[in-house]
Amino acid sequence: MITTAVQEDLYPSRTSSQPEWIPRKDPVVHSEGRAPSTPLTSELVADFERDGFISIPSLFSEEEVDAYWTELKRLSSKREIRENGSTITEPESGDVRSIFNIDRVSEVYNRLARDPRLQNVVRYLLNDDVYIHQSRVNFKPGFRGKEFYWHSDFETWHVEDGMPRMRCISASIALTENNEFNGPLMLIPGSHKQFISCVGETPADNYKSSLKKQEVGVPDESSITRMADEYGIRAPKGPAGSVTFFECNTLHGSSGNISPYPRSNVFFVFNAVSNALVDPFCGRDPRPEHIANRTDFTPLKPL
């Protein structure tokens, strides 16, 4: 008898004309019993389980952040970085909005990704070796930083990239202060425990516009309202060097930024090696490699 290796779709989305809530089928904290290691305390583990995110102020020092900026300036001035197809620009001004693959183009950022302060957190919570599904630096400029509407990263990564399960954590390392005025990350604590199946169909090459303004894979307003009414909204604040770890299914978004102050961050998506990508569940061609790494699942070596 021949068995086919078709992966079951536990979280179907964009397949129906009605939104649906599907209870989470995966653990939030995948480890049990082992004592957490620095900087992850038992209390933070409990917070992550309940809220779907934790924020640790000043996990990296001012001096370290300065070094990340120095490296960023070096990279931004390099023509091959600006023009290599994995750099995203603002729709109107043409300013650089994101540089993808930052851990591959920079030794400094590669070492940051493997820093024990990040690795100890994600390896414990995921109870596995991890590889980088996506990495980028977001420049959110002052005066004209654009909003990012509410979404679950997992919804997109599952449907468009073929990430099978919820066993993936993002780390956002602040390169500038996050304050109430510069469009900080807003999260709905507890939202990671439900998968909101979105309405609509995935168009071909959706990524070309969705990274600038997302229009498919967007939760319905009624679901967002219900979640916010029940759980509230939170926006971690803190100095540069603070880190927010958030679960791949936690609903989040950010407002535009008219303040004079940029809101820049480094963003690493750490996926469990046991959760490596399969074919996209929407049946479309996969997105480009710099948006969804599907060729190299080699575990990161923690420093």
Task: Point out which residues bind its own copies (CB under 8 A).
Answer: 142-143, 147, 149-150, 180-181, 183, 186, 221, 224-225, 228-229, 233, 235, 253, 255-261
Shortest Cβ 245–its own copies spacing (Å): 21
Shortest Cβ 255–its own copies spacing (Å): 5
Shortest Cβ 253–its own copies spacing (Å): 5
Give 30's contacts (C-beta < 8 A, 6+ positions apart). 125, 126, 127, 128, 167, 272
Cβ proximity to its own copies, 137 vs 185, nearer residue? 185
Cβ proximity to its own copies, 171 vs 187, nearer residue? 187
Please, what is the Cα angle at 183 between 180 and 188, to 5 degrees?
Answer: 85
Give 213's contacts (C-beta < 8 A, 6+ positions apart). 91, 146, 149
Q: In what order do the strands lie in the sheet with 53-56?
A: 53-56, 243-247, 168-174, 265-272, 130-138, 96-100, 87-89
Shortest Cβ 217–its own copies spacing (Å): 16
Cβ proximity to its own copies, 168 vs 188, nearer residue? 188
Q: In whole angstroms, how large is the CA radius of gyration of the chain?
A: 18
Cβ proximity to its own copies, 96 vs 266, nearer residue? 96
Is residue 286 within 8 Å of 292, Cβ to Cβ?
A: yes
Shortest Cβ 150–its own copies spacing (Å): 7
Cβ proximity to its own copies, 65 vs 187, nearer residue? 187
Is residue 279 within 8 Å of 174, Cβ to Cβ?
A: no
d(CA 254, CA 62): 24
